[in-house]
């Protein structure tokens, strides 16, 4: 059963201490653009050595250069297509991280696949399979492969990125919402099973309406520039990735309010 010890949740005024991620190694998937790029830059600015993971080398190299320009620790790049990656590739990545860096203190599962909003009746099995591979199988395989490293960290955090449509069934979100719902539930199960490791925690963040490439696809009628900038979602990611988030696991947060999401999924072990 998930821990019930007293913890202090963040508020809208939360601010982390300068360089609070110093000497930590943090992996960010989908780091080439959108929220993943902003998170990678933000974590690096606070002292973290960031592992940039994504499909397109050119985009990852641009983020790599941006991190160096801001005089942050030099990141490393891993190119991986989650739609095609097999389990051994994740194991190889974890081994390479150990050999190159010797540790891993956090993972931000941000890479996602999204087609468009459409009714279930016109979506295909192929779409479902791709959604599940990228949005569920990939974070599962990555977490599993990196678990030995995370267990060795004195303070490890794994953050999943979700959507409000996963918590509350919403028409036309289809396979994307279904896959994110599955990932949310998986996070809860991981958190419950790993409760005996008090310095290893897993949580989920719902970024909400911010300026990201996916938001342009899901809400094409919006005036994109009127939305909050992506960096506005960073406080909750910093809270959960840093030491202030110790003791919190198995929770789903909304970045906009820095509060627990309503109607959270419950995972109750059998008696």
CB atoms within 10 A of CB 271: 3
Q: What pLDDT is attached to residue 111?
A: 87
Q: What pLDDT is attached to residue 134?
A: 92
- Please compute the mean of the pLDDT values over residues 60-77 and round it to a whole number: 97
11 within some domain: no
10 within some domain: no
265 within some domain: no
4 within some domain: no
Q: What pLDDT is attached to residue 234?
A: 86
| pLDDT above 80 for 227 | no
User: Three-state SS across 236-255?
Assistant: HHHHHHCHHHCCCCCCEEEC
20 within some domain: no
Percent of the chain beyond pLDDT 90? 57
| pLDDT above 90 for 67 | yes
CB atoms within 10 A of CB 75: 25
| pLDDT above 90 for 257 | no
User: 245 near 202, Cβ under 8 Å?
Assistant: no
- Please compute the mean of the pLDDT values over residues 232-238 and round it to a whole number: 86
User: 200 near 194, Cβ under 8 Å?
Assistant: yes
Render pLDDT for 4-50 as a digit per residue (tens, 0 to 9). 344 567 766 788 899 999 999 999 999 998 899 999 999 999 999 99
**For residue 117, what is the domain's CATH number?**
3.40.50.720
Higher pLDDT pick, 69 / 222: 69
Higher pLDDT pick, 233 / 248: 248
Domain with 199 in it: 25-260
9 within some domain: no
| Alpha carbons 84 and 253: distance in angstroms, whole number | 30
Percent of the chain beyond pLDDT 70? 77
- Indicate the pairing of strand 76-79 with strand 156-161: unpaired
Say which residue the tokens 């320009």 belong to: 69
223 within some domain: yes
7 within some domain: no
Higher pLDDT pick, 265 / 89: 89
Domains held by the chain: number: 1
- Please compute the mean of the pLDDT values over residues 84-92 and round it to a whole number: 95
Q: What is the mean pLDDT of the chain?
A: 84
* Six token digits for residue 267: 């995972």
Higher pLDDT pick, 5 / 187: 187
| Long-range contacts of 162-168, Cβ-Cβ distance < 8 Å, separation of 24 or more | 162/204, 162/205, 162/206, 162/252, 163/206, 164/206, 164/208, 164/254, 164/261, 166/206, 167/206, 167/252, 167/261, 167/262, 167/263, 167/264, 167/265, 168/263
Instruction: State the DSSP H helix or E strand holding residue 26, giving kind and residue range, or none if neither.
Output: strand 25-29
Highest mean pLDDT among 28-37, 112-121, 220-229: 28-37
Render pLDDT for 119-178 as a digit per residue (tens, 0 to 9). 777 778 888 888 889 999 999 999 999 999 999 999 999 999 987 665 777 776 667 788
**209, 211, 215, 221 alpha-carbon torsion, rounded to 10°:** 90
């Amino acid at each position: 059963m998930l821990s019930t010890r007293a913890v202090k949740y963040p508020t809208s005024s939360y601010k982390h201490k300068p360089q609070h991620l110093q000497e930590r190694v943090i992996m960010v998937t989908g780091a080439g653009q959108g929220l993943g790029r902003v998170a990678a830059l933000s974590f690096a600015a606070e002292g973290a050595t960031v592992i940039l993971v994504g499909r397109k080398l050119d985009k990852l190299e641009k983020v790599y250069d941006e991190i160096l320009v801001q005089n942050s620790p030099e990141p490393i790049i891993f190119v991986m297509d989650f739609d095609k990656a097999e389990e051994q590739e994740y194991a190889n990545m974890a081994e390479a991280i150990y050999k190159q860096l010797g540790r891993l203190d956090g993972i931000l599962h941000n890479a996602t696949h999204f087609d468009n909003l459409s009714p279930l009746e016109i979506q295909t099995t192929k779409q479902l399979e791709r959604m599940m591979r990228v949005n569920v199988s990939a974070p599962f395989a990555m977490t599993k492969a990196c678990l030995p490293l995370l267990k060795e960290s004195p303070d490890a955090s794994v953050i999943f990125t979700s959507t409000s449509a996963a918590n509350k069934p919403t028409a036309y979100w289809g396979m994307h919402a279904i896959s994110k719902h599955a990932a949310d539930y998986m996070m809860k199960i991981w958190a419950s099973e790993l409760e005996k490791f008090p310095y290893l925690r897993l949580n989920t963040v719902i970024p909400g309406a911010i300026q990201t490439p996916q938001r342009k696809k899901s809400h094409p009628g919006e005036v994109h520039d009127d939305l909050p900038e992506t960096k506005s979602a960073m406080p909750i990611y910093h809270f959960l990735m840093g030491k202030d988030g110790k003791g919190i696991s198995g929770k789903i947060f909304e970045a906009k309010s820095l509060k627990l999401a309503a109607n959270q999924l419950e995972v109750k072990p059998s008696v």
